[in-house]
Amino acid sequence: MPASERRAGLMPLLGAHMSVAGGLAAAFVRLERAGGEALQIFTRNQRQWRAAPVTAEEAASFRAAWHRAGGPPVAAHDSYLINLASDMPETVRKSGAALAGELDRCAALGIDFLVMHPGSHLGGGVKEGIGRFVYHLDAVLADSDSAVTVLLETTAGQGTNLGARFEELAAMIDRSRHPQRLGVCFDTCHAFAAGYDIRTPATYHRTFAEFDRLLGLDRLRLFHLNDSLNGLGSRVDRHTHIGQGEIGLEAFRFLMNDPRFASRPMILETPKGDDLAEDIENLTLLRSLVEMAGEK
């Protein structure tokens, strides 16, 4: 997009989660092919407990590719296996070690944000689960030398997953001894599935007014932009392409034109193939929703 539009803050920072097949630095090549301006990656296989640290060569290659790409905002997403709200000691031990490794890899690569799911209470109840999550998260943060910000992701509330209500995320941050290290990633599909409607001006305003009241919009550091295959309040996490699900196009128009979020990175996590055609189509569609100054 024209540099003048970016400087004027007229266009959101849109991008996508990209594969790191072929090396971490390869994600920037894919981002450029898709025409993205913000990136999310997994620093290691997201479905394995054991993960090697980032080597000096990997870090140098990644940072060089990042520089060549113009320095877009980059976030990492943690492993899906991590559950700090578990009541099983072995799971908590592995989760703590895995999260510490995630923070170390982000620091080595220069990545400022690590997105994580708050985990599942596994039947112990929301209050108990939040207590366990905060206790174990604080232990990891206290031992970490990095300055990486952990972004708690809004969830759909499937099963016993925590983080479907803004009140739960607020409780996690309020109870933490390290609130300055915590922020929020707002996933549109997850929030919608959890019961937060953003499809009309009134419901959009109400949802973000509630977020602001409970968490503060300054905590909202990153968006995941996904339409939802399932309906409002379904508590089912199923992503689909922008405008092709139950959320619909107007909600994304509101987001694209909300001046409060003009500087926030917004990341697609929609289905795609190796040619990235779907990412290109979704990004093009989102940009078409932006209303320039003077438009009605």
63-105 pLDDT, tens digit per residue, is 999 999 999 999 999 999 999 999 999 999 999 999 999 999 9
Closest CA to 110 of 61, 47, 49: 61
Residues pairing with 186 in the sheet: 223
State the chain's mean pLDDT as an integer: 94
Provide the angle, in degrees to the nearest 10, between the axes of the packed helices 126-143 and 166-175: 40
**Tokens, residue 42:** 């997994």
Q: What is the DSSP string of 233-255?
A: T-----EE-TTSSSS-HHHHHHH
Q: Which residues are catalytically annotated?
A: 47, 77, 80, 117, 153, 187, 190, 224, 237, 239, 269
User: What's the burial of 120, exposed, middle or buried (CB within 10 Å: 0-12/13-18/19+)?
Assistant: buried
Neighbours of 1 (CB within 10 A): 12
For residue 186, what pLDDT is reported? Answer: 98
Backbone angles phi, psi at 13, to 5 degrees: -90, 95
Interval 117-171: pLDDT, tens: 999 999 999 999 999 999 999 999 999 988 999 999 999 999 999 999 999 999 9
Fold of 12-288: TIM Barrel (3.20.20)
Q: What is the DSSP string of 190-210?
A: HHHHTT---SSHHHHHHHHHH
